[in-house]
Amino acid sequence: MPQPLNELGTDVSLAITPDTGPPQRPALAILAMQAIAEGSRLDAEVGNVFVELSGANPRPASVTYLSLNGSIARQRRSMPSLNWC
Amino acid sequence: MLTDTERKIWKAITVQVQRVAAIRNPVAHWVWGCSTKLADAVILVDPGDLVGFRLDLADMSSDIGRRVREMRYAKATPPHPPDPLREGARVYRAVDFQNVTNEIRRVMQMVIEFRSLWHWSEGNRGVLWRLDANEELAKDAARAYAALSTKLSGEFRDRMNCDRIGGTPTASPT
C-alpha cells in the first residue's frame, strides 16, 4: 500500500511542477506504466467475456459494456461511424 | 445466457475487477510529484486536491493583509492549517507499483479462468479459490463453484462438448 505523505512529517517537501514527472523517476515510471497497461488489458478481457456471455451478436453487447463503463473514449470508439467491430 | 450459479461467480469476479480498478486509478490519473528527500519514490496527488489547494491559496492571498495584522497583534504564530494537498498525497515506491500490477494480474487470471470455465474447460478450476481478498465473497464463490462443478458432470457436459466440436461427442478430459 502506498504510504500517506503526512506520515513522513512536514520536513518531506512536495514539489509538483512540469519537471517533477516521470523523467525524474524513470524506473518508477516504467513500473507505473506496467500497472496501467495491465489494467487496460484487464478492461479489454472483461469486455470480451461480457460480449461472449451476452450471446451471439457482439455489437449490442459491446455497446452495452462500453456504456456501463462510462469512459468517453470508449463510448467514442463504439460510435457506429467508426465501424470497429 | 448465464445460469444463476454462473451469474453469481461472474458477479464475484466483477467485484474484484472494481477493486483493482480502484487501486489502479491513482496510478493512471493522479498528478506526479517528487520530493528531494524521497529519491526512491514519487508522490501522487489527486488532481481534485490540487484544484482545491490552488483555490485555498487564492483565498489566502486575498486575505493576507488581515492575517499579518492579526499575527502581529497576537505576537504569536497561528497554528499551521491542515494541508489537504499533503493529506491526500500518497508515496509510491517500486514495490507499490508492482503490487498494483500483481493484483491486476491476479484478477486477470480469474477472468481468463472464468471464461474457460464458462466454456466448460475442465483444466481451469482454480478460479474461485483465488477470491481470497474477501472471505465472505470467497465462501460464496466456493459454494457456487462447487455447485457448478457438480453440474459439469454427466450428460450436460457431454452435450456441451458435442456442441463445441461440431456434433461429434467425445470423451471429456479428466
Task: Enter the pTM of the model.
Answer: 0.65
Query: What tens digit of pLDDT does each residue of A59-79 get?
Result: 776 676 666 655 444 444 444
Query: Which residues make Cβ contacts (< 8 Å) with residue A69, sequence separation at least 6?
Result: A43
Separation in Å, CA B19 to CA A70, B13, B76, B99, B100: 17, 10, 47, 13, 11
Return the number of other C-beta atoms located less than 10 Å from residue B126's C-beta.
12
Report helix, strand or coil for B99.
helix
Structure letter (DSSP) for residue B76:
S
Q: Which of A7, A41, A42 to probe the B interface (max B CBs under 10 A)?
A: A42
Would you list the domain boundaries of chain B?
A: 8-62+89-164
CB-based contacts of B126, cutoff 8 Å, min separation 6: B113
Q: Do A28 and B28 touch (CB under 8 A)?
A: no
State pLDDT tens for residues B8-22.
888 888 889 999 999
| Residues spanned by the domain of A39 | 25-82
Pick the residue from chain B with its C-alpha nearest to A1: B96
Per-residue pLDDT of chain B (174 residues; tens, 9 = 90+): 666 777 788 888 888 999 999 999 999 999 999 999 999 999 999 988 887 777 776 776 676 667 666 666 665 555 555 577 788 899 999 999 999 999 999 999 889 888 877 765 444 444 544 554 456 666 666 666 666 655 554 444 444 444 443 444 444 444
pLDDT of B168: 42
C-alpha cell at B165: 466440436
What angle in degrees, to the nearest 10, is found between the helix axes of B135-152 and B155-164? 80
Tens digits of residue pLDDT in B71-91:
666 655 555 555 777 888 999
Query: How many other CB atoms sit within 10 Å of the CB of residue A6?
Result: 16
Within the 49-68 window of chain A, which residues sit less than 8 Å (CB to CB) from chain B? 49, 52-53, 55
Domain count, chain A: 1
Cβ contacts of A48 on chain B, cutoff 8 Å: 115
Q: Is residue A20 part of a domain?
A: no
Nearest residue, CB atoms, B20 vs list A8, A42, A53: A42
Distance CA A4, CA B44 (A): 10
pLDDT tens for chain A, 85 residues: list them.
899 998 888 888 888 888 778 888 999 999 999 999 999 999 999 988 887 777 656 677 667 666 665 544 444 444 443 333 3
DSSP string, chain A: -PEEGGGG-TTS--B-STTSSGGGSHHHHHHHHHHHHHHHHHHHHHHHHHHHHT-S-HHHHHHHHHHHH--HHHHHHT-GGG---
> What is the complex's ipTM, to 2 decimals?
0.75
Name the nearest CA neighbour of B130 among B27, B20, B55, B34. B20
Closest Cβ opposite residue A32 in set B27, B37, B112: B27
Q: Nearest chain A Cα to B84, which residue?
A: A6
